[in-house]
Amino acid sequence: MSAKTDEVFSRFEEIGIIPVVVLNDAKDAEPLGKALMEGGLPAAEVTFRTDAAEESIRIMSSNFPDMLVGAGTVLTTEQVDRAVAAGAKFIVAPGLDEEIVKYCLERDIPVCPGTQTASEMTKALKLGLTHVKFFPAENAGGLKMIKAIGAALTKLRFMPTGGINADNVSDYLKDDKIFCCGGSWMVKGDMIKAGKFDEIKEKVKEAAELRKSI
């Protein structure tokens, strides 16, 4: 792993919970970034599911230089380029797309693709990865599945995402196979849409406290 990737994954681990955000309007990026910073989770996986993603990454990265901002739901190498040019420090994908993984590795861009099965994880290891997303975590067998596969694939560490919430995040984070969890429960789209950034900040704070208590 390169020094740059190592540093990014160390920050993932330190922050512990990575908010997965869907922004429909880039004007929300600044107040959301502020809520995340002040709430104590200085990170965001901004998903490329909306047209506002690229500009939102640009706004968050430039307004909050200490924040770990990256791109999620990345499905093409063109999106990798756009995300990185906008300031993304990492790339997350829902599945293991070899083209995207290789493209990122060749350019020393930290990448964390989604995996679900032992076969996909083995492929990830072969590509040279040590950190993968486990998605959709709760539907794919949750912590029990990570423990079972992780017992065999000892070099891999996991970022479970999908179905993680305030009730189950602590159990995940207690397992040392897990380097962080991704989740949207503290940054739900309806709260963003309604401009409830104080409420978001409170939920982020609660999540950050759960993380600290591990």
Which DSSP letter does residue 178 get? B
Q: Judged by CB under 6 A, which stretch of 78-86, 139-147, 159-167, 195-203 contacts ligand 3PG?
A: 159-167
Question: Would you say 122 or 184 has its CB closer to ligand 3PG?
Answer: 184
When asked if residue 162 is in the footprint of ligand 3PG (CB under 6 A), the reply is: yes
* Amino acid identity, position 41: L
From the CB of 75, what's the least distance to ligand 3PG, in Å? 13
For residue 130, the Cα-to-chain-centroid distance in whole angstroms is: 15
From the CB of 184, what's the least distance to ligand 3PG, in Å? 4
By CB under 6 A, what part of segment 99-138 binds ligand 3PG?
135
Interface residue with ligand 3PG among 130, 184, 189, 191 (CB under 6 A) is 184
Both structure tokens of 113: 């693709």
When asked if residue 19 is in the footprint of ligand 3PG (CB under 6 A), the reply is: no
Interface residue with ligand 3PG among 19, 161, 178, 180 (CB under 6 A) is 161
Is residue 27 flagged as an active site residue? no
Q: Is 39 helix (H, G, I), strand (E, B) or coil?
A: helix
From the CB of 207, what's the least distance to ligand 3PG, in Å? 11
Both structure tokens of 106: 């060749």
Question: Would you say 10 or 139 has its CB closer to ligand 3PG?
Answer: 139
Of these residues, 133, 177, 201, 203, which one is catalytic?
133
Both structure tokens of 57: 């990454």
Interface residue with ligand 3PG among 20, 23, 29, 146 (CB under 6 A) is 20
Q: How far is CA 35 from CA 6, 17, 23, 187, in A?
A: 27, 15, 14, 10
Question: Would you say 33 or 182 has its CB closer to ligand 3PG?
Answer: 182
Burial 77-114 (b: 16+ CB within 10 A, else e): bebbebbbebbbbbbbbbebbeebbebbbeeebbbbbb
When asked if residue 183 is in the footprint of ligand 3PG (CB under 6 A), the reply is: yes
Q: Write phi, then psi, for 185 (nearest 5 degrees).
A: -65, -25
d(CA 197, CA 14): 24
- Residues, the chain: 214
The answer to whether residues 38 and 67 touch, using CB atoms and an 8 Å cutoff, is no
Is residue 133 flagged as an active site residue? yes
Residues near ligand 3PG (CB under 6 A) are: 20, 135, 161-164, 182-185
Query: Which residues are catalytically annotated?
Result: 45, 133
